[in-house]
Structure 1
Amino acid sequence: MTEQLNYFKWKQQAEAWMREAADYIRWQMHEQLDIKTKEHKNDLVTHVDEGVENFFINKISETYPSHRVMGEEGSFKKIDDLSGVVWILDPIDGTMNFVHQKSFFAISLGIYVDGEPAAGLVYDVMADELYSAVAGFGAFLNGKRLPKLGRVKLDESILSINPGWASKDETVRNLIETVRGARSYGVASLEIAYVASGRLDSYISLNLAPWDVAGGIILLQETGGLATNLKGETLTLLKKDSLIAANPSIHDGLVNRAFGTT
């Protein structure tokens, strides 16, 4: 019980910090952005991403000195295991959307204890939608409990997938033709949260980092959804991996039909 009370305390504290960070993001949106690239020209980072990560690092180190942070903008380099309490952070998931559209981006945070999920939060900053969950106690959207996912047929489902991947892969194109509709939002954490809430039925991606998925997969687990890599294996959260996040009634069908694995 003491452990679970800690989980709720961490989640509540994280929510307050997320809202504070969101105020900073909204303010900075109207200033000149310092935009840089990382691995390639479409992999963007701004001083706002870095500022939000530093904000969380400072708050967590001051409040919980024994906890560690795995963040996208550099703090991940200090993490090579998930022992103890690790906060896995994407300060702005969807930086390209943030830069170009000023919408459809999120702060994503998963809190893990010895590699097991404790709490997860995904905050759509501009829509003011906060998804949150404590392991074993359900998932919520702005404080309202999300129901468990109902059954859905693959040919009546909505899939989110990168259109660039679809343009190069016949198997993916065939899958898109099988489902009722396909979408792409460019924000992994939100897309996983949408599966958890039933707005989407599945989300598939080839190459995601731990901070892209850590907050969302806890939400998904709490509404009965499944998150694995394309082979159907458990995600490690220590390296980049593929992802199928899906309603449980179609998860295995997606793995088998799209990728020929079991």
Structure 2
Amino acid sequence: MNKSTRQTIFENAKQWVLEAGENIRERMKSEFQVDTKSNPNDLVTEVDKETEKYFASKIRSTYKDHLIIGEEGYGDKVESLDGTVWIIDPIDGTMNFVHQKRNFAISIGIIHNGIAEISLIYNVMDDVLYTALKGEGAYRNDTKLSKLKDDVQLATSIFALNSILACENKKVNEKKIQQLIIDSRGTRGYGSAALELAYVAEGIIDGYITMNLAPWDFAAGYLLIEEVGGKVIQANGDRVNFLENNTIIACNHMVVDELLNKYIELK
């Protein structure tokens, strides 16, 4: 994707994200329906569906040859990353959206021929937009994010992780995760993977660890972190796959080897 094309797509995506955010804030003033999907804690609302439908309509009317991967059923059946693919989570952190009315985000990653080219993560209630274009750095609103620090050590690092990782987990050695909690400075859980990845890019946390994350949860955060010199890989060290669920280790580049070698042991 050439720079001019990328910039035009980005400007359209940014406008649509901000419009969608405004629509969400308006919808929150009235009651909305809440349903469950795979389990009682896997929530979806009519606002999630309306927002994804809005993006799908905008994309298809403007870019007829682009494809969409979406969480709420308005996407395409995408089997390869040839061409341009939009990977969309209309509301990442739906449980926060329902219970807290904050700490959720719109997340969009745009992939072209398998390469992450554009990222947008919008913290709707705080009106903070994280963006990245490949090779041009990452931004928090209009402020360019600095490269991640080179002097970070695991003992002084803060990690975001799902609480289930410290309990019985089918994929990971939970005892080693418990040791990571002890050996690091602290752990956090924000309830929105997109925001947690954005916070890694911003440098306010040093890593995010999860054993099961869908493409719409990590596609936007991937490029943000890459653009500031961080790492986003699978828990076995492999590259991420934007077409399927992944284990995700996203962190400052100074602690990735120690994490993989000492604390992340897959069963």
Amino acid at match of 1:15: K
Which residue of the partner structure matches residue 166 of structure 1? 166
In the TM superposition, what are the counterparts of 1:1-262 in structure 2 within 5 Å? Answer: 3-76=2-75, 78-151=77-150, 152-168=152-168, 169-260=174-265
What SS class does the counterpart of residue 167 from structure 2 fall into?
helix
What SS class does the counterpart of residue 249 from structure 1 fall into?
coil
Q: What displacement does 1:77 show?
A: 5.4
What 5-or-longer segments of structure 2 have no aligned partner? Answer: 169-173
User: Within 2, Cα distance between the matches of 1:220 and 1:207?
Assistant: 19
Q: Which moved more, 1:148-157 or 1:72-81?
A: 72-81
Q: What displacement does 1:4 show?
A: 1.3
For each residue in 1:9-66, what CA deviation from the matched residue of structure 2 results, as whole angstroms up to 9, or x when unmatched?
Answer: 1111111101100111111112112111111111110000000100000000111111
User: Within 2, Cα distance between the matches of 1:113 and 1:161?
Assistant: 29
User: Within 2, Cα distance between the matches of 1:65 and 1:36?
Assistant: 31
Q: TM-score, normalised by structure 2?
A: 0.95
User: Within 1, Cα distance between the matches of 2:11 and 2:260?
Assistant: 36
Aligned length: 260
What SS class does the counterpart of residue 250 from structure 2 fall into?
strand
Higher helix share: 1
User: Within 1, Cα distance between the matches of 2:20 and 2:236?
Assistant: 36
User: Within 2, Cα distance between the matches of 1:232 and 1:178?
Assistant: 21
Amino acid at match of 2:153: K
What SS class does the counterpart of residue 207 from structure 1 fall into?
strand
Q: What displacement does 1:164 show?
A: 2.5
**1:76–1:173 distance in 2 versus 1, CA, 3 Å:** farther
What 5-or-longer segments of structure 1 have no aligned partner? Answer: none
Amino acid at match of 2:211: L
User: Within 2, Cα distance between the matches of 1:143 and 1:187?
Assistant: 22
User: Within 1, Cα distance between the matches of 2:236 and 2:76?
Assistant: 27
Q: Kindly report the root-mean-square deviation, in angstroms, between the aligned alpha carbons of the 2 structures.
A: 1.2
Q: Which moved more, 1:72-81 or 1:141-150?
A: 72-81
For each residue in 1:63-108, what CA deviation from the matched residue of structure 2 results, as whole angstroms up to 9, or x when unmatched?
Answer: 1111111111013451121110001000000000000000000000
What SS class does the counterpart of residue 78 from structure 1 fall into?
coil
Q: Which moved more, 1:69-78 or 1:6-15?
A: 69-78
Amino acid at match of 1:66: D
Amino acid at match of 1:191: E
User: Within 1, Cα distance between the matches of 2:244 and 2:109?
Assistant: 15
Assess if the C-alpha contact under 8 Å between 2:67 and 2:75 holds in 1.
no
Percent identity of the aligned residues?
A: 43
Question: Structure 1 segments of 4 or more deviating over 2 A?
Answer: none
User: Within 1, Cα distance between the matches of 2:124 and 2:26?
Assistant: 12
Amino acid at match of 2:164: G
User: Within 1, Cα distance between the matches of 2:255 and 2:51?
Assistant: 36
Q: What displacement does 1:260 show?
A: 4.1
Amino acid at match of 1:176: I
User: Within 1, Cα distance between the matches of 2:204 and 2:25?
Assistant: 25
User: Within 1, Cα distance between the matches of 2:34 and 2:133?
Assistant: 35
**1:65–1:77 distance in 2 versus 1, CA, 3 Å:** closer
User: Within 2, Cα distance between the matches of 1:76 and 1:210?
Assistant: 13
